[in-house]
Amino acid sequence: MVRLDRRVERTRKLLQEALLVLIIEQGYDTLRIEDITERANLRRATFYMHYKDKEELLLSALSETFNRLAQETEHFAAADRLGGKTHYGAYLTTFKHAEQNHTLYRNILNSQSGAVFARRIREYLAGLILQGLHQIPDLALPADVVANYIAGAELAMITWWLENDMPYPAEQVAQGVYQLTLRGVADTLNITISPDNRSD
Amino acid sequence: MVRLDRRVERTRKLLQEALLVLIIEQGYDTLRIEDITERANLRRATFYMHYKDKEELLLSALSETFNRLAQETEHFAAADRLGGKTHYGAYLTTFKHAEQNHTLYRNILNSQSGAVFARRIREYLAGLILQGLHQIPDLALPADVVANYIAGAELAMITWWLENDMPYPAEQVAQGVYQLTLRGVADTLNITISPDNRSD
DNA sequence: TTCGTTATCGTACATAATGTACGTTATATT
DNA sequence: AATATAACGTACATTATGTACGATAACGAA
């Protein structure tokens, strides 16, 4: 493994940092390649020596962040410990992280390419959750359905929460989403389900 | 209310139909305005007499479809009847509808502008669900949180299901999502939650 | 320190889609 | 039949993109 040329390392970091700052400042969609290279004090042509387009650059910039977050949350633990000492710590960590970078994530998820990133994030989350589910035998539903449900619901709620300028504190939303996911709408709303309906 | 000029009516319908066909044939992103007008046998300049861009055209093309679908599902009923004769009919109808137009919706939701449309759809669904929730007193959580959770989870699952080429029959996924939403992951996975954890 | 390598610079060019303009023609409304 | 205007046909300016290439500077290896 040959070490990367210092110039390459520096250039990529400069581009990534410039991108994130500019997304916060002026959003993702209107951002031109030249805006990024200008902010990074580089020539536009240099960009294409490292990345195919804005999207590839953003994905590279986000990947580190996500890996770090995943370690913090140990997200799979949410599923893993469902039957034991349950907790909503993973949710809380994630929502707090989203809150700290709310402008960045809001602009990304609400951008044109937002769907691309949302998909990546959901796949990433679902993968982590799937690991935890593998340790639970006799699931009533296919594991990938459950994993993608949990991941999709969480991501959808983060998206909604950020889009609407975080109308409730992170603690409350995290708790709510956790509860809804684990126990369902019926239990959360204090609605009794008669046994008759349990199979319909 | 003056009736619309026949030419206008015809032109708009032609553009909408051409767009939907082309999205199925070649996806949304690579689609140029000129491709649409060519298919509709119209001049490119004519497009701009009616729509600002592709997005506006697609939104207008989808709105009718959604209104029709909403009437079929009476989606709000899902929340409305949670405590009574529960059913997953609304979910089933929606998933079947998605299945019938799977290429169209997959290409839309997976496109660059997919996030924009996903947001619109989620807001639309959440609005319907909110209507049903208003009739339920003493919610443990804010109604908009619950509504957006239900809508977000369903839309996320439709998106996932379409992205992965519908790996399970519509009936099974609809049933699964319905069950997960109503009773939660714990109940679905046959995991017992001890009373200690019910408040954490 | 020297030397070969190569990332970046500086600049230029081709391409492609967009948005708009405007006189002309055809069609709808009354 | 007369008037209004939608759509045509064509043209033009703009803007971002992607690429090319010789020159320069920074880097890594010896």
State the pLDDT confidence band at B15, using cuts at 50, 70 and 90.
very high
> What is the least distance, in Å, from the CA of B137 to any CA of chain A?
9
State the pLDDT confidence band at A133, using cuts at 50, 70 and 90.
confident
Q: Which residues in chain B are contacts of A146 at CB distance < 8 A? A: 176, 180, 185, 188-189
C-alpha B133/C-alpha B148 separation (Å) is 11
Give the max Cα distance, chain A: 69
C-alpha B66/C-alpha B184 separation (Å) is 28
| CA distances (Å), origin A138, targets A128, A150, B147, B171, B190 | 19, 18, 30, 20, 8
Would you state the pLDDT for residue A84?
Answer: 41
Q: Is the CB of B54 under 7 A from strand C?
A: yes
Residue for token digits 């619109």? B120
Residue for token digits 């387009």? A53
Chain A, 63-122: which have a CB under 8 Å from a chain B CB?
79, 82-83, 85-88, 109-116, 118-119, 122
For B107-127, what is each residue's pLDDT tens digit?
999 998 899 999 999 999 999
B29 shares contact with chain A (CB less than 8 Å): no
Contacts of A137 (CB under 8 A, 6+ apart): none
Q: Does the structure show a pLDDT above 60 at B85?
A: no
Q: Does the structure show a pLDDT above 70 at A198?
A: no
- Give chain D positions with protein CB within 7 A: 5-11, 16-21, 26-29
Report, as an integer, the average pLDDT of A34-43: 98
Residue for token digits 């506006």? B56
For B141-180, what is each residue's pLDDT tens digit?
999 999 999 999 999 999 999 999 999 999 999 999 999 9
B119 closest CB neighbour out of A87, A144, A163: A163
Helix (H) or strand (E) holding A26: helix A6-26
| Higher per-residue confidence, A52 vs B84 | A52
Residue A184, by phi and psi: left (phi above 0), alpha (psi -120 to 50) or beta? left
The per-residue DSSP string of A87-152 comes to --HHHHHHHHHHHHTHHHHHHHHTSTTHHHHHHHHHHHHHHHHHHHHTTS-S-SS-HHHHHHHHHH
State the pLDDT confidence band at B133, using cuts at 50, 70 and 90.
confident
State the pLDDT confidence band at A90, using cuts at 50, 70 and 90.
confident
Would you state the pLDDT for residue A2?
Answer: 66
Triad B78, B83, B86: Cα angle to 5°: 50
Å between A101 CA and D25 C1'?
38
How many helical (H) and strand (E) elements, i.e. helices and strands, does chain B have? 10, 0
CB contact under 8 A, A115 and B111: yes
Q: Does the structure show a pLDDT above 70 at B50?
A: yes
